[in-house]
Amino acid sequence: MPLPNSVYRIALHFAETRLQKPNLRRFDVQFEGKEVLRNFDPAGAGFKTAIQKSFGEIPVNDGILDIEFVHRTENPGIQAIEIEEIKLSTTERRGRGR
């Protein structure tokens, strides 16, 4: 996803709406090549139950936010993605090499 170079807070929204039992759909999630969820089961909270997973301080340094959903069992599924830029002070940006 094209984004300006910066640091972002990302929220992923899930709900298993097809498979009614846990452990039938599992997948990993990676941001910028780093794993943030491993062997995730969206039905773990129950059938048709919303789950939000939030991740802060995800850096984008090449103008593209890479999000990868890695298949384990069944195809990965997601309901929504929220992306919010984290406004850093000049001192914080300098400390991060920006």
Reduced to 3 states (helix: H, G, I; strand: E, B; else coil), residue 20 is coil
**Could you give the CA distance from residue 54 to residue 72 in angstroms, rounded to a whole number?**
21
Tokens of 14: 């899930």
| Global confidence as pTM | 0.86
Domain count for the chain: 1
Residue 95 inside a domain? The answer is: no
Kindly give the pairing relationship between strand 6-14 and strand 80-85: antiparallel
Q: What is the pLDDT of residue 69?
A: 98
Residue 93 inside a domain? The answer is: no
Residue with tokens 């009614």: 20
CATH, residue 28: 2.60.120.430
Residue 10 inside a domain? The answer is: yes
Contact 40, 87 (CB under 8 A): no
**Could you give the CA distance from residue 18 to residue 7 in angstroms, rounded to a whole number?**
34
Q: What is the pLDDT of residue 91?
A: 52
Residue 1 inside a domain? The answer is: no
What are 5-34's pLDDT values in tens digits? 999 999 999 999 999 999 999 999 999 999
The boundaries of the domain holding residue 11 are 6-88
What are 43-93's pLDDT values in tens digits? 999 999 999 999 999 999 999 999 999 999 999 999 999 999 998 765 565
Q: How many residues does the chain have?
A: 98
Q: What is the pLDDT of residue 88?
A: 72
Contact 47, 16 (CB under 8 A): yes
